Amino acid sequence: MKYLDEYRDPAIARGLVDRIRSTTTRSWALMEVCGGQTHTLVRQGIPELLAGSVELIHGPGCPVCVTPLEQIDRALALASRPDVILTSFGDMLRVPGSTCDLHAIRARGGNVRVVYSPLDALELARNNPDKQVVFFAVGFETTAPANAMAVWEAHRRKVPNFSLLVSHVTVPPAMEAILSTPASRVQGFLAAGHVCTVMGYTEYEPIAAQWKVPIVVTGFEPVDLLEGILMCVTQLEEGRHEVENQYARVVTRAGTVPARTLVERIFEVGDRKWRGIGTIPMSGLRLRPEFADFDAEFRFGLRDIVAEEPAECCAGDVLTGRIKPTQCPMFGTACTPSTPLGAPMVSGEGACAAYWQYGHGRVTSAPAEAV
């Protein structure tokens, strides 16, 4: 199958591993930004194959994982209202809030529905004019165009009972926040191909230049990632710090211009809180004032709901790469997929979920130094 089998070819993968090992003269620390990349790397055992040549640090690239606790609590408050139908992608239902999760609210009779697109939620609002339909809009730049389209269509069709609970974050400010940490060990990035499919990669060029780190856009198959790692360590060995595009079969430098234009029409950039990390300035998207009628936080007065992250959960340390999931004292004991303390254990892109799913046992060694 074109663009699938060849990117999972074991012989090609082994050849790339050998080339990475022969290229490196020392061990380099690279951060993959996307949780989808993390799952492929861990599932295929790539960190172990490259041990001694490359250390792979898992970054804050899971949108479900970085959604802050207070935003989950706001969703729980909405789902508990008899006049609201709360809609969401399925991976949000298991994320714990301060007291429970959306599954528990639904079990108690809350009208919580899984949809596959925000446009499905919009259609639900049109078919249920006596209910307020809210879509929990979580994600990086990848999902922003679909959410922007839903708001635009609600505005155009004059659907008054539709709104978004917006929790969009953007990648470049998070990368800069990590690099600005004094103890950062990150020497290069593997950037997420799906984000760059929408946004292109021009935003990464100033980061590479300012911080002198190579950034390579990659896909999500094993050969994609190994080739991206090779490109990144080659730059490091040669003393270069550029943005390169391994995922050229999908990504262009300018991205998908119509999608970017729509996002900029509906959303504006603002400060956003990240789970376990805190507020990163100008790192999120919020609805522009002219579309405030579709903002669920404004419509339902939710901005007074605040929450502190549980101290026993090390999500922030995992999401910023300061520790591996197995270095959290709660991993596999108090925190499991059936009793999660935080989103990284239950999200389909969470690093903790990847380590649990693919059989990494608990490690009792001391945490790595901060990145």
Distance, in Å, from the CA atom of 259 to the CA atom of 265, rounded to the nearest integer, reads 10
Q: Provide the token pair at 82.
A: 């008899």
Query: In DSSP terms, which residues pair with 267 in a beta bridge?
Result: 287
Q: pLDDT, tens digit, for every residue of 9-23?
A: 999 999 999 999 999
Q: Quick one: pLDDT at residue 364?
A: 41
The residue extents of the domains of the chain are 5-62+184-195+202-245, 64-170+255-299, 315-357
Distance, in Å, from the CA atom of 260 to the CA atom of 185, rounded to the nearest integer, reads 32
State the Cα angle at 62 between 192 and 112, rounded to 5°: 130
> What's the CATH superfamily of 5-62+184-195+202-245?
HypD, alpha/beta domain 1 (3.40.50.11750)
On whether the CB atoms of residues 328 and 356 are closer than 8 A, the answer is no
Which residue has 């399925």 as its token pair? 90
Identity of the residue numbered 294: F
Same fold, 5-62+184-195+202-245 and 64-170+255-299: yes
DSSP E strands, the chain: 28-32, 54-58, 84-88, 112-114, 132-139, 162-169, 188-192, 215-218, 243-245, 267-274, 278-287
Q: Quick one: pLDDT at residue 182?
A: 87
Q: Quick one: pLDDT at residue 366?
A: 40
The 10 Å Cβ neighbour count of residue 29 is 17
Identify the H or E element spanning 57: strand 54-58
| 64-170+255-299 classified as CATH 3.40.50.11740 | yes
Identity of the residue numbered 80: S
Based on DSSP, count helices (H) and strands (E) in the chain, helices before strands. 16, 11
Of 316, 278, 279, 283, residue with least CA distance to 58: 316
Q: Quick one: pLDDT at residue 365?
A: 42
Q: Quick one: pLDDT at residue 309?
A: 84
Q: Quick one: pLDDT at residue 3?
A: 66
Identity of the residue numbered 130: D
| Residue-by-residue pLDDT tens, the chain, 371 positions | 566 788 999 999 999 999 999 999 999 999 999 999 999 999 999 999 999 999 999 999 898 999 999 999 999 999 999 999 999 999 899 999 999 999 999 999 999 999 999 999 999 999 999 999 999 999 999 999 999 999 999 999 999 999 999 999 999 999 999 999 888 899 999 999 999 999 999 999 999 999 999 999 999 999 999 999 999 999 999 999 999 999 999 999 999 999 999 999 999 999 999 988 899 999 999 999 999 999 999 999 999 999 988 888 999 999 999 999 999 999 999 999 989 998 999 998 999 999 999 976 544 444 344 33
Which residue has 């490690």 as its token pair? 363
Distance, in Å, from the CA atom of 212 to the CA atom of 182, rounded to the nearest integer, reads 15
